[in-house]
A and B are shown apart, each in its own frame.
Chain A
Amino acid sequence: MSVIAPKFRLGYFLKGIFDNAFWILTIVTLAGIPAIQIVLFYLELPVIDGELLTAFLAFTWLFNPTMQVPLIKALIYSDLFRIVAFPGFGFAALIAAGTIFVERKMLAKLQLRVGPFYCGKVEGILQLAGDGLKLISKEIIIPAKADKPLFWAAPVLFVGTAAAFVALIPVAPGGWVVADLDVGLLAVFAVIGFFPIITILSAWSANSKFPFIGGIRALHQMVSFEIPLILSLLGVVILTGTLNLSEIVESQSSFPWIIFMPIGAIVFFTTMLAELERIPFDLPEAESEIVAGWLTEFSGMMYGLVQLGSYLKLYAFAALFVIIFLGGWTGPVFWPPLETELITEGIPIPNYAGDPILTVNAPGLPLLDQDPNEWVLQQQGELQYTSGQLLVSGVIWFVLKTVGVIFFILLPRGVFPRIRLDMLLHIGWYKLIGLSFVNIFIALGLVYAGVIGPGGIL
């Protein structure tokens, strides 16, 4: 194996380029285009302006100013967009990336350091991208006697489960959620129940001692904290009488539940830290005791996937706290109403000098208002806020509250040392379960005293 770079020869260089071009063209023609055609055949395509959107029309309309906006609008209201981009994976991954950046910089400030600084010129903002590239380019090493299928599957399953958790989180009013279930909270509990299984399977399949100890610790921790987690949320279910997360948010339009259930909120926050394996509950990854716990044998992008999954999980838990205790997207609507003159009078298209030469009547504007009549109703005083206003300010409130909760999740890392397994189990099984029962009794008291609920004063 030679490590000396071969001598440069123009002929070989050109041959390499031609070879690459040949194979790319061949593969795209023989496999890529048929694959796209097959996928397009099964896609459910929307009807825009009386015409069925086909692939050919999509390419044509992309360059047609009158049809661009309806095309984008059709995309926004498709299921694919929800899963991939806005309330689903892309949105969560964006917040997770922001979380990692904020965590590094905030912790650095707390510890009198600078933190990532050089990558990306501005305060190391591209450090995460650099780390991701490094992880992707690293070799994946699997222990010799590991159970390979399980070991490969564990990081993917972990991210998949975290993404399933994210899919249950409603972000904005009007059904902006990937999976709007009537048993949403129950589904959340079910998804959370998968994490210890994945953890112990990956730890066991690595066939190594430190991951095994870490997996057992993770199992102890997650199972014993799941019970107070579920119990602490039951108080809200008793008060609202629903398991649908969107309806739980709607029930907090005048006050958030944390006012009535601070004990439940504290219990849920503590269990959240434990489920997320964050300091002071990072026993499954305790570095000085068991190297990196159940992550010890993961290398390269397998480790990166687990980290991605854990930060998605962090976002999802913070969002769940916001939805259940802090009122989700509810808050004062500050977004000004969008005017409908855009629709009635059209968009002026300027020439190269900037003078309008053409007015285009674009259907489907503005993007966020589904019903153009809402503006008319609002002018007549029959409607307080249009759905576009509610959506924009709702999302902004939701993101602000979630970022605030994430900040408080990150903060203990700079303040507390790690606790011990027996202390952890003691907290979980004695104190938190007791406190969550107290919380349930408070909720029952509020309902039976007639303070909240049908006929109550609130």
Chain B
Amino acid sequence: MAEQVIPTKKMPPGLQVENVDDRIMTLNVGPQHPGSGHMRIIVKIDGDYIVDADPDPGYVHRGEEKMAESRNYITNIPHLERPVIHDSCNILYPYVLGVEDLVGIEVPERAKYVRVIAAELNRCIYIQYWLAIYGIFLGHSTMFMWPAGDRELLIDLMEKITGARVTHAYFIPGGVRNDVPANFEDVCLRQVNYFEKRIKEYADIFYDNPILKARTEDTGVLSREDAIRLGTTGSVLRASGVDYDLRIKEPYDVYDELDVHTNVLKSGDSYARSKIPWLDMLESCNIIRQALEKMPKSGSIRTKLKPNPKGREDEVYRRVESGRGSAGCHIISRGKPEPYRLKLSVSSFRNLIALPYLLKGEKLGNMPAVYWSLNYWPVEADR
């Protein structure tokens, strides 16, 4: 992590980072801590204030990029979605788009719409899981149970489409793996409408809660300039007032035919960062309804590939808006059935860079609120 990129932040007066050692207590928050995830944050505290925070990821490194070099383009699919199984469609999306570029195949129109629906459903599934953990990190156990329960609606829907509850492996180069079941449109519309009604109730118990507002507003403020300088993406960037959504800026598949709105909040604090994904879920429901309406009712869902497709000698970089921000995939091909090099550029790692900057000078009680509001998924950052 480049030190010089991190801007200095004004600390509250009276806090000392150095010189007086016995004032400072070092806490290892993680990897076996209920508030850490699969990583460690080495936190130095002076009383109730955090004077230094050093995130230490790498506990769940799986070597996905190296594994991808010895597997061909089709067998790469099931393991490339592993870094973030709750958002498996979106993490696979840039890889599939890139391979389509390399192999040079066109995707049928119906498959594009099915992909958009699956990706938006998966975004909601991921955000629900993230929101559940955000709730329990703030001590709000109802907000843990409600999203975890409502998530089942969409998981059932994804199970109907793909046959798997979480790890779908649904997107393949050339389209999707199998067609949606009969009367899928009706079931999907009904479930999504109910889901939207449910998530609107979260505002009553969580987002309009006076204690939550008092606790998370004006904590961990990331200004617009710093958000851009630190290279954050996705909900973190949009919470700081930057209107940046790849579905609009670099539309892929059929997003340019749909009416996609993006949600931007100005304040850049933990509250805004936690609210943006929830607004994204409401927007996803709109996108799904539009896509269901415009989707061709019949047609091919997959362009046939050769059994072991070879990419042309080229390199390609594609990126999509995942549940956490931009997820990119850089593939270098040497004309073999396997990629010569595959690089996943994930938003979790980008957002993690903002963590030490945001935690400095915060109170210890704000640590979970700031940490999890960065929309960070530890397994994805390690890849």
Contact = CB atoms under 8 A, between A and B. Distances in A.
Interface of A: 107, 110-113, 209-210, 213, 279-280, 282-283, 286-291, 413-423
| Closest 6 A/B residue pairs (Cβ) | A418-B139, A288-B35, A111-B145, A417-B140, A417-B138, A288-B368
A279 B142 CA distance: 12
B312 interface: no
A284 B197 CA distance: 36
A418 B216 CA distance: 11
B11 interface: no
Nearest to B47: A216
A415 B205 contact: yes
Given A289-B35, A291-B34, A416-B209, A421 B139 contact: no
Given A287-B34, A289-B35, A112 B149 contact: yes
Interface in B342-383: 363-368
B29 to A, nearest CB: 8
Interface in B13-35: 25, 27, 33-35
Contact of A289 (B206, B211, B365): B365
Contacts of B34: 287-288, 291
A289 B364 contact: yes
A210 B212 CA distance: 24
Contacts of A288: 34-35, 136-139, 368
A390 B367 CA distance: 55
B131 to A, nearest CB: 13
B145 A419 contact: no
Contacts of A287: 34-35, 136, 139
A345 B243 CA distance: 91
Nearest to B372: A288
Nearest to B26: A209
B363 A419 contact: no
Contact of B142 (A111, A282, A291, A419): A111
A290 B45 CA distance: 13
Contacts of B25: 209
B209 A420 contact: no
Given A209-B27, A423-B214, A283 B146 contact: no
Contacts of A417: 135, 138-140, 143, 206, 209, 211-212, 215
B48 interface: yes
Interface in B200-227: 205-206, 209, 211-212, 214-215
A111 B48 contact: no
Contacts of A213: 364
A415 B141 CA distance: 8
Given A209-B27, A289-B367, A280 B211 contact: yes
B140 A416 contact: yes
A416 to B, nearest CB: 5
A164 B140 CA distance: 32
Interface of B: 25, 27, 33-35, 48, 135-146, 149, 205-206, 209, 211-212, 214-215, 363-368
A187 B240 CA distance: 54
A413 B143 CA distance: 11
Given A415-B205, A417-B140, 9 more contacts: A111-B145, A112-B149, A287-B136, A289-B35, A289-B367, A416-B140, A416-B211, A417-B209, A419-B214
B365 A283 contact: yes
B216 to A, nearest CB: 9
A286 B365 contact: yes
Contacts of B135: 417
A421 B215 contact: no
A290 B139 CA distance: 12
A416 B149 CA distance: 19
Contacts of B139: 279-280, 282, 286-288, 416-418
A383 B123 CA distance: 74
A420 B49 CA distance: 12
B364 A112 contact: no
A213 B48 CA distance: 9
Contacts of B138: 288, 417-418
A113 B214 CA distance: 29
A164 to B, nearest CB: 30
A444 B205 CA distance: 40
Nearest to B367: A289
Contacts of B35: 287-289, 291
A326 B140 CA distance: 30
A286 B33 CA distance: 12
A209 B136 CA distance: 22
B141 A423 contact: no
A419 B215 contact: yes
Contacts of A209: 25, 27
A413 B364 contact: no
Contacts of A280: 139, 211
Given A209-B27, A421-B48, A422-B48, A414 B141 contact: yes
A282 B138 CA distance: 11
Nearest to B28: A209
A291 B136 CA distance: 13
A401 B379 CA distance: 50
Contacts of B364: 213, 289-290
A111 B365 contact: no
A283 B212 CA distance: 15
22 contacts: A110-B142, A111-B142, A111-B144, A111-B145, A111-B149, A112-B145, A112-B146, A112-B149, A209-B25, A279-B141, A286-B139, A287-B34, A288-B138, A289-B365, A291-B35, A415-B205, A416-B140, A417-B139, A418-B139, A418-B140, A420-B366, A421-B365
